Structure 1
Amino acid sequence: MITPAFELTQDPDFLTIIIKVPYARASEFDVYFEGEDFKFYAKPYFLRLTLPGRIVEDGREKASYDTDKGTLTIQLPKEIPGQHFEGLDMLTSLLAPKKSRSAKSLVEEIAASAELSEEEEEFDWEIEQTLYEESAEGTLPLQYHYGFGNLRSGVFQRLQDELSDVIDIKDPDQTPVDERRRKRLAAEAAKFDPDHYLADFFEDEAIQHVLKYKPWWVDAHKKMMALQGKSHQEHDTPTFVVFSEEEREQLRKFTNKSYLLDKRSRHHVYLGLIDILLAYCYEICVNEGDKNVESSWNVRKLSATLCWLENFTSIHDVLVAFGRRVLCYPLHRHFGLVTRAFSDTVMILQLGKAAVLKCLLDIHKIFMENDPAYILNDLFITDYCIWIQKTKSKKLAALSESLQKTTLTKSHIGFELEELEAAAVLVQEEESALKAAGTVSRQQLPSSASETSDSEESSSTSSSETEGSDSDERESSTREDGEINSLQGTLREERTAPLIDCNGLRQGTNTSTFEVGDEKSKVSSQSTSVPGKLIEELEKQMQTAIRLSEQPEGLATASCILQEQEENRVSEPDRFSKDTTGKGNFLEVSSKPNPLLFLRSANEDGD
């Protein structure tokens, strides 16, 4: 028999069942309903449902068949008009036979038969013998349980190669819960990277961007809160969560079974559910609802329940473990993502088991598409999807209330985050102060340089003014005497002509350069200090120049004397200037004779 695809809806008076039976004959439809039981048969389809409320046959029932779509629509009146049937989206639980919870044969029959077959295997008499050693714990090694409700054991002995890439704990069958926790805490402490955390703490543009993303449960929660306080709020809550056709197909494929859990196991199951939802909310937030190759890794790595087979004892322990793993393993390690996942999980639990089931189905799909993470579906997620459909809504409401009252701070994480942030802020302030001091010093340096340049400009201006006054006096004197004008022309020719050393060789113009600015500054300093003496000296030089014009033979001698005096002068240390090319100091010698020295040497030679 084939279980057909079906869907249930309701209004205040009727329960509507839509069954997809393509290629079936309408004349062969057989429908039976009474109380909470509903049965449908049309070869080769068979459907049996256990309804969450009672229906009656009073003549108002209706049925219609759409041959084009192949769907049968049946409307059944409710026994109590206005009654709300809860859990119509929980298709797997609706397929369960009535009173199936008390049937002992439904409790892990497959696993029990597998263990029985292993025990009945023939003993190998050729096994290697060893000396007997008394064990303090007993004759048989202990095997610890794990998985949903701690109902599994011995799985890792058979699938160690496959599960080694899925979980972090090694040999969980021989590792007790307390030792798993100690190893997990040690691994997280070794993995924590302060530099990575501080980088995300100070440069959080990408993180602030993903925090703005709003998944589907945010809008659904707003609608639910808007209707809070109205008389039929509970009736309207399930309408906020809508399952897709793919999700309905997932629910139909699950094999219904019951779980006999004691109080402690149920406590572990609820806390493990919170841990898995926290990891899932982180994944949805950082990837903004899109799935990628890292989605499976994020969910299982951030959940200590899935990665370390952890059994939590309190909600606070769940939050601390999740916060530590967020700050150690994924790409974005920010405490704001921890608080965001915390608030999202509260919203999902407040929306009810339909929202929780929708998230679990998405996790189931993520793991199913990833190898070998699909093994986690067999250990946890599939059982959670079946179990949550039979969970009372009051239990989830109490769980969300307890979660909302729990607080988590950075000091609870255990990595000294607050001290680390305070130290980083101090370092940042010191660096800012050093940069500010460097900026001030750089600002002062150009100002002093500008003052120096201003003084140089002022001195050059005064020298240029003095030279201008001197040139005016010269021009006035040349107007009085025409011979001086002819002498100035001769001097200009001598300045532009190449120099001749004492050996009669012509001196190259590219061998050295003359510091014009230095000589001008010296002349200007002399003119500013004793302007009267300079005028008298210039008059004497002009008179001497007149006599030199009559003795051209003395020019070469004066040139040699000038060269010797220049060599003696530049030999002093203050005549060295720094080579800008970085090759050392070089000596600057004028290619043009100083007219003042030239006239003085010529005058001495003439006298």
Structure 2
Amino acid sequence: MITPKFSCSQTDDSLITSIYCPSVRAADVEINVDNTVLIVHINPYFLRLNFPYPVEEDDNSSAQYDPSSGYLTITLTKSVKGQHFPDLDLLATLLAPRPSRPQTRPSIEVLDPSTDDAITDISKRADALSLDDEFAQAAKNEWQLPQALPDPASGFHTSSKRYYGFLDAFTGYFAYVNHTENEINELGDDAEACNAEERRARRIAHENEKWNEEHYMADYTEDEYIQELINWHDPDLTSTAEVVLTEDENMAILRLPRKEYIMNTFQEHNLYLTLITLMYAHAYDKRTTLNDPTTESAWTICNLIAAFSALDPPPYSPGELTGGAALDFTDAELTSTLVSSYRRSLAFPLYRSFQLAERCRTDVAATLRRGKRLITRYLLRVKDILDHHDVYYIYSKIWVEDFCVWIQGGASDVVLTRIGEKLDALKVPKSAIGWDLEELEEATRLAVNRDSDSDDESIE
């Protein structure tokens, strides 16, 4: 089945869905409305939308097909007149499966074994069980299996597989990494064997190895072009207009998978931290290319994200989520997340400047404050850049694709705004980077002044 192109709009009393399905017979259209769910089937198209609030079919509802334009327009009545339906422009939110329903009865019922009728009662209930009942219940739930988080894993593992990526849901993607030209992979042939501690240790060691004092001092001294990059005004962040996703962006959203993410508060907390590193890498590439991605953009973005190059996502400081709400982020954990991005931007790409790193931080803060739509746009851009690379598309598959889906239906604008405000006010000390930046800068200034004085004396 093909998911058709569609859009949704609303009035005070109605919800209007326009579906592009050219060259079909109107008589073959099947429409079903069930509370918050709209299902439309017309061969070869199938569309199931989950609205935030209930809708219904009544005398004011209608369905009209225009053969000349190929659009089917369905008008449904809101169950509560005047109710506003949010996020109708975020298509992935509408396409996401309906959240799993909790069980309405316990799975196990404890009977009193002291009674003589207990065994007889159990036997009767067992005889009454039928696969037909199970199928009926499944059909009632729209053939969606109930989802639940497994119990926390113990320290004992029966499998040698290592998991990584979005919600640690992927494995095996680097089994043959030695046969590809993956220049950003910092784990080598051991990518599938390293545990979390080993990944972090290798990442930090590789960053220290790549750190180049001379490169940093040179960019600190001759920073005319870097200052131009820092002073460049990002039109997306300077505009106050509402972000409206384009037709191409909506088509890209329609190609995303339909997923429901079951996670605990700790996992959700860490996704927001990882999102910061993704937005930082995008901000750095966008600013250094002046919003015109180059052939090196995929390499730059992947190198700046530790979750990609070393499969090592945040959190980077111990004791996260201790005291306070799960989605309240401390300055310490936000700083540790940014330090990883700062270090990588000072060790790998062409332009290595602490001032530029600070400018990228403010870009990330402004992006998060603007909300899910702008973040969705940026994630789709990153996905497009990586998808067109022969090797780095793998990081789009195990990270970015799921972020594109989750950010629309799972993330909270309130939380994003709160993180953005904290990042904007945050001060990352140079001492936290670990490479004696202040001493290097002071030595560079003294050397420049000494050379300047020598030139003046020679002229005299």
Unaligned runs of 5+ in 2: 103-143, 150-154, 316-332
Query: Is the counterpart of residue 428 in structure 1 residue 451 in structure 2?
Result: no
Q: Check whether the contact 1:156–1:163 (CA below 8 A) recurs between aligned residues.
A: no
What is the 5 A alignment of 1:349-428?
349-391=368-410, 392-428=412-448
> RMSD of the TM alignment (CA)?
2.7
Report the more deviating stretch, 308-317 or 399-408.
Answer: 399-408
Name the residue aligned to 1:348.
367
* Cα shift readout 1:529-588 (whole Å, capped 9, x = no counterpart): xxxxxxxxxxxxxxxxxxxxxxxxxxxxxxxxxxxxxxxxxxxxxxxxxxxxxxxxxxxx
Kindly state the Cα deviation for residue 381 of structure 1 after the two structures are TM-superposed.
Answer: 1.1
* Cα shift readout 1:334-388 (whole Å, capped 9, x = no counterpart): 1222112111111221222222222111111111100111111221111112222
Separation in 2, partners of 1:352, 1:316: 21
Secondary structure at the residue paired with 2:51? strand
Instruction: Compare the two structures and name the one with the higher helix fraction.
Output: 1
Distance 1:80 1:205, change over 3 A: farther
Separation in 2, partners of 1:104, 1:164: 38
Kindly state the Cα deviation for residue 319 of structure 1 after the two structures are TM-superposed.
Answer: 0.6
Secondary structure at the residue paired with 2:347? coil
The one of 231, 234, 237 equivalent to 1:218 is 237
Query: Is the counterpart of residue 303 in structure 1 residue 305 in structure 2?
Result: yes
Kindly state the Cα deviation for residue 32 of structure 1 after the two structures are TM-superposed.
Answer: 3.4
Report the more deviating stretch, 82-91 or 294-303.
Answer: 82-91
* Counterpart residue identity of residue 248, structure 2: E
What is the 5 A alignment of 1:526-605?
none
Kindly state the Cα deviation for residue 417 of structure 1 after the two structures are TM-superposed.
Answer: 1.2
Separation in 2, partners of 1:138, 1:353: 39
The structure with the larger Rg is: 1
Query: Is the counterpart of residue 89 in structure 1 residue 80 in structure 2?
Result: no
Kindly state the Cα deviation for residue 243 of structure 1 after the two structures are TM-superposed.
Answer: 1.8
* Cα shift readout 1:471-522 (whole Å, capped 9, x = no counterpart): xxxxxxxxxxxxxxxxxxxxxxxxxxxxxxxxxxxxxxxxxxxxxxxxxxxx
Kindly state the Cα deviation for residue 420 of structure 1 after the two structures are TM-superposed.
Answer: 0.9
Name the residue aligned to 2:61.
61
Distance 1:320 1:47, change over 3 A: same
The one of 292, 298, 322 equivalent to 2:341 is 322
Query: Is the counterpart of residue 191 in structure 1 residue 210 in structure 2?
Result: yes
* Counterpart residue identity of residue 327, structure 1: L
Distance 1:143 1:27, change over 3 A: closer
Distance 1:388 1:369, change over 3 A: same
What is the 5 A alignment of 1:417-496?
417-440=437-460
Distance 1:297 1:107, change over 3 A: farther
* Cα shift readout 1:449-474 (whole Å, capped 9, x = no counterpart): xxxxxxxxxxxxxxxxxxxxxxxxxx
Kindly state the Cα deviation for residue 323 of structure 1 after the two structures are TM-superposed.
Answer: 0.7
The one of 164, 167, 176 equivalent to 1:146 is 164
What is the 5 A alignment of 1:92-103?
92-100=92-100
Separation in 2, partners of 1:366, 1:377: 9
Separation in 2, partners of 1:174, 1:27: 57
TM-score (norm: length of structure 2): 0.78
Q: Check whether the contact 1:106–1:257 (CA below 8 A) recurs between aligned residues.
A: no
Separation in 2, partners of 1:343, 1:381: 22
Kindly state the Cα deviation for residue 73 of structure 1 after the two structures are TM-superposed.
Answer: 2.6
Q: Check whether the contact 1:93–1:256 (CA below 8 A) recurs between aligned residues.
A: no
What is the 5 A alignment of 1:231-380?
240-313=242-315, 314-380=333-399
Kindly state the Cα deviation for residue 184 of structure 1 after the two structures are TM-superposed.
Answer: 1.8
* Counterpart residue identity of residue 394, structure 1: V
Aligned length: 395
Q: Check whether the contact 2:369–2:418 (CA below 8 A) recurs between aligned residues.
A: no
Q: Check whether the contact 2:200–2:312 (CA below 8 A) recurs between aligned residues.
A: yes
Q: Which has the higher contact order (CA 8 A, sep 6+)?
A: 2
Distance 1:159 1:431, change over 3 A: closer
* Counterpart residue identity of residue 278, structure 1: Y
Identity of aligned residues (%): 32
Q: Check whether the contact 1:9–1:16 (CA below 8 A) recurs between aligned residues.
A: yes
